[in-house]
Amino acid sequence: MSRIAYVNGLYVPHREACVHIEDRGYQFADGVYEVFSLHRGQMIGETGHMERLAHSLSELQIDWPVSRRALSILTREVARRNRVRDGLIYLQITRGVARRDHPFPENAESALVITARRLPALDKQALRSGVGVITLPDIRWKRHDIKSVSLLPNILGKQQAREAGAYEAWLVDDDAMVTEGTSSNAWIVTKDGELVTHNTSQAILNGITRLSVLEAAAEAGVKFSERPFSVEEALSAKEAFITSSTSHVKAVTSIDGKTVGNGHVGELTARMLDLYVEFIEGKGGPSKTDTWN
């Protein structure tokens, strides 16, 4: 079956899908995106993704290319046409096509691309295998609450991680605090069993998975704290993990080559993965969707 992409009003074969060379996304990274995860045919955290998209668009003064309702229908249609039940939907909106010039163009229409990709179904066993992360200085701009397509520091960080044999890079601010991963949120479990992840601010992207895990923790009576933690604290933590729409809840068993806890997937991490899966299969996603910075 050949893949289908949605590009500015048309469904086209994926391999022929293209945008104009003067699309401002291509020339200036002047655009935003969302990645929705599909689990057993269900879109996870759709409301949250749409709210976060609304925030990103509004912060950059980019118009909705179609109504929010139409966008929701289009994303489902792209998933349907690609027969994706487990996988990802990628949605990108840029400021559109205009003669190359830095100020916002007067009459450009925002451009919309949607693709979908199958992935193996969520596999708890695989997620429990544990990965390594490295730490790197956070050299990004200062608005991580906006899901901008300008991802150069993120891809450089991820590449450095992969070259070091690690799965992810945790980004560290000038105060030696871990902000988040290059494409995930960062978590630790303290010695007294408290979950810790960076508070929402312009320093992190408020992950939809992060919100689901927090809500699942609250419902299950698991203690948590939303605050920055240092690399030092992470190194002496009992457990660590990352969250994202693609990695779900993934155990971290080493940081900069040093073992976290006993080097095995933590008990609370494994529990949070179970609670997360239960939560998304029940509620479909977080209900608190108004905190984007």
Residues that bind ligand PMP (CB under 6 A): 35, 180, 183-185, 205, 207-210, 243-245
Q: At what angle do helices 208-220 and 46-60 cross, to 10 degrees?
A: 130
CB of 104 to ligand PMP, least distance (A): 25
Which residues does 174 contact at the CB level (< 8 Å), separation at least 6?
none
Instruction: Tell me the DSSP string of 109-124.
Output: PPEEEEEEEE-PPP-H
CB of 50 to ligand PMP, least distance (A): 12
- Taking the least distance from each CB to ligand PMP, the nearer of 56 and 94 is 56
- Taking the least distance from each CB to ligand PMP, the nearer of 98 and 289 is 289
Instruction: Tell me the DSSP string of 138-191.
Output: --S-S-TTS-BS--HHHHHHHHHHHHTT-SEEEEE-TTSEEEEESSSEEEEE-T
Q: What amino acid occupies position 130?
A: G
CB of 97 to ligand PMP, least distance (A): 26
As a dihedral over the C-alpha atoms of residue 180, residue 184, residue 190, residue 192, rounded to 10 degrees, the angle is 140
Taking CB positions, which residue lies at the least distance from ligand PMP?
A: 207
Q: Is 147 a catalytic residue?
A: yes
CB of 59 to ligand PMP, least distance (A): 15
- Taking the least distance from each CB to ligand PMP, the nearer of 18 and 126 is 126
CB of 20 to ligand PMP, least distance (A): 26
- Taking the least distance from each CB to ligand PMP, the nearer of 31 and 96 is 31
- Taking the least distance from each CB to ligand PMP, the nearer of 19 and 35 is 35
| Given the residues 147, 158, 238, 250, the one annotated as active site | 147
- Taking the least distance from each CB to ligand PMP, the nearer of 108 and 184 is 184
Answer yes or no: are the C-beta atoms of 132 and 254 closer than 8 Å: yes
For β-strands 229-230 and 177-181, DSSP reports them as antiparallel
Compute the distance between CA of residue 288 and CA of residue 277 in angstroms, rounded to an integer: 17
**Among 171, 137, 132, 160, which Cα is nearest to 256's?**
132
- At 7 the three-state DSSP class reads strand
Phi first, then psi: give them for residue 206, nearest 5 degrees.
-75, 100
Which residues does 87 contact at the CB level (< 8 Å), separation at least 6?
37, 38, 79, 116, 117, 118, 119
CB of 270 to ligand PMP, least distance (A): 19
- Give the catalytic positions in this structure: 147
